[in-house]
Structure 1
Amino acid sequence: MKIGTQMDKVLTGLSSRPESVGSTKTPGKTASLDGGVGKSATVTLSETASLLSEDSAAFDAAKVARIKQAIDNGSYQVNAGAIADKLIGNAKELLQGRQG
């Protein structure tokens, strides 16, 4: 899992989009929630939030439940070597991006 990679791609894509002069921004996705007698709320997502929600990867709920159960019962094993390898790889990638 790479940290920040997806977010960087989305934000870079948004900042590089040209805006036409004199255009009005269109609001993002809108959702309404009726929460009881006479109560309602309207939520509007920004373009960035809409893109992030579309781009977010689905997760395996069963795997999350298994890991949570393993943590709860004390049987979860952390692979320190794998974590270290991923951190080193991510650091190398960041340094190469700054040099190039």
Structure 2
Amino acid sequence: MKIGNPADKPVVTPAATPSSTAATTNAAPSAPSAPGQPTEASAQVALSSTATSLLSAGDAEFNAGKVESVSQSIERGEFTIDAGVIADKLIANAAELLSGGAPRA
């Protein structure tokens, strides 16, 4: 469990500079490739660590049985909270944020 996940913050993209827009507008158009021929890559895209973690987060599976079990325990009033585990996770999360490390799954 993460508190204050950076994914909650809006992503800010830098504005285009005149030199970068001039380079794209003055570039010669490439010739279209023949049908069935692979096209040559014309741009390189690099994902930030946040974008990469968001992409992998979409693939995360959850245990529906465990969720149902916890839900029933809460309804019956039998669910106990281990403050030590929560404190350990908070400390680990703070240390991760301070060190600039990648989030752990």
Return the TM-score normalized by structure 2.
Answer: 0.44
Comparing both structures, which one devotes a greater share of its residues to strand?
A: 1
Structure scoring higher RCO (CA < 8 A, sep ≥ 6) equals 2
Return the TM-score normalized by structure 1.
Answer: 0.46
Structure whose CA Rg is larger = 2
